[in-house]
Structure formats: structure tokens, C-alpha cells
Amino acid sequence: MTTLTAPPVRRRNARPVWMGQPSRASQSLKALVIALIVLVMLYPFVYVIAMSFASREAQASGSAFPTSYSLDAYRSIIGGGVVTRSLVVTALVTVVGTALSMLFTTTLAYGLTRTRRVPGSRTVLVLVLCTMLFGAGIIPNYLLVRSLGMLDSYWSLVVPGLISAFNMVVVRNFFMGLPEELLESARLDGASEWRIFLQIVLPLSKAVLAVIALFYAVGYWNSFFNAMIYLNDTAKWPIQVVLNQYVVQGTALSTLQAPDQPPPPGQTIQMAVIVVATIPILLVYPFAQRYFTKGVLTGAVKG
Amino acid sequence: MAVLERPGAAKAVPGRPGRDRAARRDRPTTSVWERVRRERWMYTFILPGLVFFLVFAYLPLLGNVVAFQDYSPYWGITGSTWVGLDNFAAMFGDPQFVRALTNTLIISFLQIVFAFPAPILLALLLNSLVSDRVKRVVQTIVYLPHFISWVIVIAIWQQVLGGAGPIADLFSTIGIHDVNVMADPDTFKALVTSQVIWKNVGWGTIIFFAAISAIPDELYEAAAVDGAGSWRRTWHVTLPGLVPVITLLLILTIGSVLTVGFEQLLLQQPAVGADAAQVLDTFVYFRGISGGDWGLSTAAGLFKGVIGTILVVAANRFAKRLGTEGLF
């Protein structure tokens, strides 16, 4: 037994021979810099989440981390009131908007995959790419939305940003990379373009569709400016506008809470509003994260 | 013509029902109308998207005529009186506009100097790590703030750095009271730049990672054999490999020097005041949508848009002259 030599195991992270060993000093310096970066990135999140659970006494003691916890802040903003309503609005806009954006983006992307065969489609592609270079400006966009009668309507949060040219290019590039023979053979078998799109192209593109859907969903969840300028009716405000009004600008908090609740300390409530506005993103983020690089790079700038 | 490319398509499947149609495809003299008719279903894919871009990207361009009008919402674009370049003259004579333009340029300059190189440095640092696992964990963490809205970012920063946050507490324990970085006009531009770095540095590394991974290992090996240490390999192999990407992104950055974090500044302006925080976009918003001075603010927006487009095109041409690929 002892005469058997173990097979040469190559460790996954084995460094190539030419690389040489790093010095102790440079290793510790790197570790220090990275620890610092991680701290700066994470501390604000950890602090806000921890403080949102602080009990009244812990909040009053003013330490960097709470010593005792309570759910008062969440109880007072969830069960009714402005925050609850704005969360529902935001969730609906996010779901409907993402679904419509995906529909319009993928169909346009597929329509523009065969620019050499479909007369006129190259012109459309150039028109779309040009929109990445310039925009009309804030006022003309506002005037358009107003003249379409979408002021104070939830459609103003969805329709003007329905297709992102960048996302369309990402999806189109992915579609173009699908094996041409597959689509051609389906065509010869008599499949219609719509059938090819629904039954071959879309199922093969799940990875890129997941990334783009996440981008759209995050965009809708985070959308602030459109809601601020197009919705005058405060009852329609999504969570980001509420967050700005009550946390960033510091307008009085009283209307935020559900009626007949004893008010917890204002700062704790602010933290809790931040947390509920962030949670959905923190939840979906780990699932889609592994696709990011692929999704972003297939679309990298050139059309 | 593209249709010529598949001469074998019809012959490869004799006896198929689609043969006749496929055979027609081979005729070199297909008229455009014929091709349109054959691909008619493809137009059902294109049409909705085309309508969207025409209405929401191209139609508003026409709305810029308001810049040459004494626009009143009551009369509308067709009924308002034309004033020629009066709005532009008034704009350049307006100290607030000049202030906004200066602030925009200062913030842009700070971002090109500090925020632009940050992802490159971070990518180089992470690339020099040997452990894939550490690399991936750090990446996950630094990407995170990119997905959070500016409202949330500013709200979080306010809690940590604001007058009631732990940093101010820390300062007051060592005897410095009333530190509120979030509301200090003097340091505001530095604050804005650090916020941009915090939010975007991680996400910005993605494209540099891709460029780094495209550099062949043999180059590093050859450099090492020639006696280059890790610093020299970074300097002589990695950085030159990144030059095309850096040029490309620099073009984009230069094209948007007049666009600096609109939401970011809009949200923080009340705390620090317009003198420090007014930029072109917020000027347009406050003058136009809140202030009702439609003509002048549209003129400011048009000025910004036109200069921006000229800058991108010029920078792109310059990059091509330097021998890099350019953007378009």
C-alpha cells in the first residue's frame, strides 16, 4: 500500500509555475484593502437593518448597534397606512411593467435578428441604436406624457420606458447566437415565425431572459423620477417617492403609520422604510447574480 | 442579396411540400415587395417596438421646438408665439444657469478623475487574487449597491453619515460636534463623487474582468520568463490589454460630461442648497416642471443634449484616429 503513489492532484486554484510566490507583505496589504472595501460596502446595510429592529431603549442609548430588539417599527408601517399602500402600488407596477417590457423587448429583438433578409429591418435597428446616443430631454418627454393623457396614471410609470434599447441589443445578440440550422429546419417543416419564437427561441434563451427581466424589475421597483413628475396624486405614490418624502426630505412621519398605533422613534421607522424598500432586491439578487456577467457582456455596446 | 446565400436549401429536401416556395427563394431577381410579402410575419414582431421608439424617442425630439417659443401650456405648441433665440439669450444671461453649468462641469471632472479609474483599480486588485472563492464573494458584495435606487442610497448614507448617525456620534465622542457631511455645501462635490464610486465601482468592474480574461496566459508566462515581477506584468501586459475598453468607456464618459447623476443631485439639493448642488438637469427640472418657465428650461435641455451628442461623435472620431476601434 505504501508504495502506491497518489495520483497527481491538481488543486483548482493552483497557481501556474511562472507566477511565483507572493510576498508576505503584499498578501497582508491586499487582505487589508479588501477587508476595508467589504466593510465600506456592507456596513451601511448592516447598520440600517440592525437599527430598524432597535427597541425604544436601544435607540435612545445611541450605540452603533442595538442591544435589544423589537418589531414596533415594522408593525407601525406595515398594517395599513402610506407605506403599505405604496408597496402594493410598486409591486403591481413592477410585475405588470416587467411582463410588458419583456414581451415588447423580446419580440422586437427577434424581429431584428434577420436584418439581411427582412427589408427595412436594418433601418429600424439603426433607429433604435441611435436612441442610445441622445434623448429628447426632460421637458419634451413631460409634454408628450401629458398630451397622451397619462399624467396621474400608473401607465406613465410603465409605458415611456417599455423597451430599453440596451436590453434589446443584449437579447438580440443572444438570439443571433442560437444555431441557425435549428431555426431553418423548423422553417422547412412549416413552423410559423411566431411558433419558432415561442417554442424554440424563447425556451433556449432562459438565461439571458432571466437577467433582462431582473434589470427591468429592478428598474421598475426603483423608479422614482417618473413617479415624482407624472403623479401629482400622493395616494398613487410608489415606495421610492414615499421614501424620499419621509426619509430623505424628512417630512413629518405621522401619516406613514397605521392609525391607532403608538409611534416608535422616528429614526427607527425611517430605517424600517428603507429596509422594506430594499428587501425585494436583496431577495432576487443572489439568484440572478451568476448570470450578470454573461448578460451584460453579450450586449457589450456594439450592435 | 442575402437570399443568394442558400442555394442548396431547396435541393437538399426534394419532395418536401415547401419545395416550391423554397425554390422561388433561389431566384436572384426577387423584388423587394416579394421579400416583404414572404417575411410578412416578421413585421408583426418589429411593428410594436418600432411604434414605441417612434412615439417615445423620436416624437419628443419635435417637442424641443418649445425652446424657440414663449410656450404656455394653455395655448400648447401650436398656439404659442415664436421668439427665436430669445430663450437661449436669456439662458446665458442667467446667473443660475451659469452656476448650474459650472457645477456640472466640476462634478464631471471629479468623476472622470476619481470615479472613472476606480473600477479599473478594483478589477486589477481582484484579478490579482488567487482564490476564486474570495474573488466571487467580494464581487457579490461590491455589485450590490448598483441595484439599489438613488433614493435608497441617499437614505442609507443619511442614516450613517447624517447628523444623527454613528459617524457623527463618533466625532462628538472625540470632541468635534455637529458634523453633518450630508448637508455641507463645501464638501458636497466630494460627497457626490464618493457616492458614485460606492454605488457603481463594483458593477463597473464587470467589463474590465471580461477584458482581462481575454488576455492570453502565454503573454503573462512570456513576461514572467523574461523576468517581469507581478507589478511589471500588470503594467506591461494587463493594462495594455485593457486600453481598448478604457478608450471606449472614456468616449461614453466624455459624451455625458453634461449629465451628472440627475436623481442623486435632485434628491440632495434641498439639504445643501442650489449654489452647490444645482446642475443642468436639476436646473431644467426646477425651472420647467416646478417653475413653469417652459421655454427657457427646454432651451437649457436642448443645449445639453446637442453638446452631448456632438461630444460623443467627436470623441469617437478622435478614438478612431488614435487607432482604437471606437464605439460606432
The pLDDT value given to residue B1: 34
CB-based contact (8 Å) between B56 and chain A?
A: yes
Torsion, Cα A55 A56 A57 A59, to 10 degrees, reads 80
What are B230-280's pLDDT values in tens digits? 888 889 999 999 988 898 888 888 888 888 889 999 999 988 888 899 999
User: The complex's ipTM?
Assistant: 0.86
- Give the C-alpha separation, A211 to A287, whole Å: 10
What are B72-130's pLDDT values in tens digits? 888 888 888 899 899 999 999 999 999 999 999 999 999 999 999 999 999 999 988 87
The pLDDT value given to residue B27: 53
CB-based contact (8 Å) between B151 and chain A?
A: yes
Q: From its phi and psi, is residue B139 left (phi > 0), alpha (psi between -120 and 50) or beta?
A: alpha
Q: Where is average pLDDT lowest: A252-261, B134-143, B214-223, B228-237? A: A252-261
Cβ(A114)–Cβ(A154) below 8 Å = no
What are B196-238's pLDDT values in tens digits? 999 999 999 988 988 898 888 889 888 888 888 888 888 999 9
pLDDT of residue B322 exceeding 50, the answer is: yes
Question: Which stretches within chain A are classed as H helix?
Answer: 24-52, 56-61, 72-77, 82-111, 121-130, 138-147, 155-158, 165-176, 180-188, 193-196, 202-204, 206-222, 225-230, 239-243, 266-288, 292-298
DSSP-based three-state secondary structure for B305: helix
- Give the C-alpha separation, A58 to A68, whole Å: 6
- Give the C-alpha separation, A15 to B213, whole Å: 15
The pLDDT value given to residue B3: 36
Q: Round the average pLDDT of chain A to a whole number and report it.
A: 84
CB-based contact (8 Å) between B309 and chain A?
A: yes
**Predicted TM-score (pTM) of this structure:** 0.85
Domains by residue range for chain B, with CATH: 93-321 (1.10.3720.10)
What are A153-181's pLDDT values in tens digits? 999 999 999 999 999 998 999 999 899 89
Q: Using the beta-carbon criterion (under 8 Å), do A159 and B56 form an inter-chain contact?
A: yes
Q: Using the beta-carbon criterion (under 8 Å), do B66 and A139 form an inter-chain contact?
A: yes
- Give the C-alpha separation, A284 to B174, whole Å: 41
The pLDDT value given to residue A189: 92
Please return the burial class of B218, using the count of CB atoms within 10 Å of its CB with bins 0-12, 13-18 and 19+: exposed
Residue to mutate among A112, A139, A279, A290, with most B CBs inside 10 A, is A139
Torsion, Cα A232 A236 A240 A244, to 10 degrees, reads 50
pLDDT of residue B312 exceeding 80, the answer is: yes
- Give the C-alpha separation, A62 to A43, whole Å: 17
pLDDT of residue A192 exceeding 70, the answer is: yes
